[in-house]
Structure 1
Amino acid sequence: MKKVKDIMKSDLVTVKPETTLDKALELLLNENINHLPVLDPNEHLVGIVSDRDMRIAMDSPFLGLYPDNMKDRLHNRIIGDIMQCALQMIDEDSDVLKAAQQMREHKVGSLLVLNAQKKLVGILTEKDLVGHLIELLQS
């Protein structure tokens, strides 16, 4: 059985708590991702923000479409105001099945992946699990 580290994304895009929402939105859109881990100045994991959190903060169901006055509202708010601090994490050597079960149990779209030293090394998303499932079904 594959391990989380075999299918996770390790090229992380992260933000700081003081990052403005407009900058975070730009990252989500430009990088075509749905989750941004939040690191403090010492590179410690302190939260996560998702595209869903951004939509709620914007009061808009359309992540990529917002009026000019919304840009000002986003520029005046920071990630620290909306990030989720109750984090779902998993060890990189855990089985993919365990990760999928944890995501389902906690109703989350991603897991932050830590190494043995408890350092953030990746993120596992629903997209990664679907890609793995497709590989299994094709083999």
Structure 2
Amino acid sequence: MTTAGDIMHRGAQWIPAHETLDRAAQLMRELNVGALPISDENERLCGILTDRDIVVGCVARGHDPARTTAGEMAQGTPRWIDANADVSDVLEMMEGHQIRRLPVIENKRLVGMISEADLAGHLTEEQLAGWVERVYAKRAPR
């Protein structure tokens, strides 16, 4: 059985909810990632921040990324998966919620992230094509 822990990218890092978006952008650059899980004061997942969120949700609306926090951008119910979950559960979660990045949790701690690139490296072409179709086909415009 292939698990979430087997396919995830290790070394994911939180951005605390109180951190500003300019700091989040710097961290994304340093880590070479396009998304960061947002943590509350107890290091619990409270959202995901993407580079697109910073640009479209803050900058394009005329807000100052040095004065807007990651927590202000957290919307909806954050999704995550246990490191021991089967890859079929990963696909079901991502497809069901039409998400492209999924934090992986083990013993209540962030241990990695699963992204499209991680799936591409571990799924067959047929599995990947089906996943892409289901995640992107019904995606509502933002």
Identity %: 34
Query: What's the offset of the Cα at 1:134?
Result: 6.5
Q: Which runs of 5+ in 1 are unaligned?
A: 61-69
SS in structure 1 of the partner of residue 78 of structure 2: coil
SS in structure 2 of the partner of residue 74 of structure 1: coil
Pairing partner for 2:102 from 88, 103, 111:
111
Q: How does 1:66-81 map to 2 (within 5 A)?
A: 73-81=64-72
Pairing partner for 2:81 from 67, 90, 98:
90
Q: RMSD of the TM alignment (CA)? A: 2.5
Q: How does 1:23-102 map to 2 (within 5 A)?
A: 23-56=23-56, 57-59=58-60, 73-102=64-93
Amino acid at match of 1:91: D
Size of the aligned set, in residue pairs, is 126
In the alignment, is the contact (CA less than 8 A) between 1:87 and 1:112 conserved in 2? no
Aligned to 2:15: 15
Q: Matches of 2:79 and 2:45 in 1, distance apart?
A: 11
TM-score, normalization by structure 1: 0.77
In the alignment, is the contact (CA less than 8 A) between 2:54 and 2:65 conserved in 1? no
Query: What's the offset of the Cα at 1:85?
Result: 4.4
Q: Matches of 1:98 and 1:41 in 2, distance apart?
A: 29
Give a deviation string over 1:110-136, Cα, whole Å, max 9, x none.
112122x3332221111110121369x
Q: Which runs of 5+ in 2 are unaligned?
A: 128-142
Aligned to 1:65: none
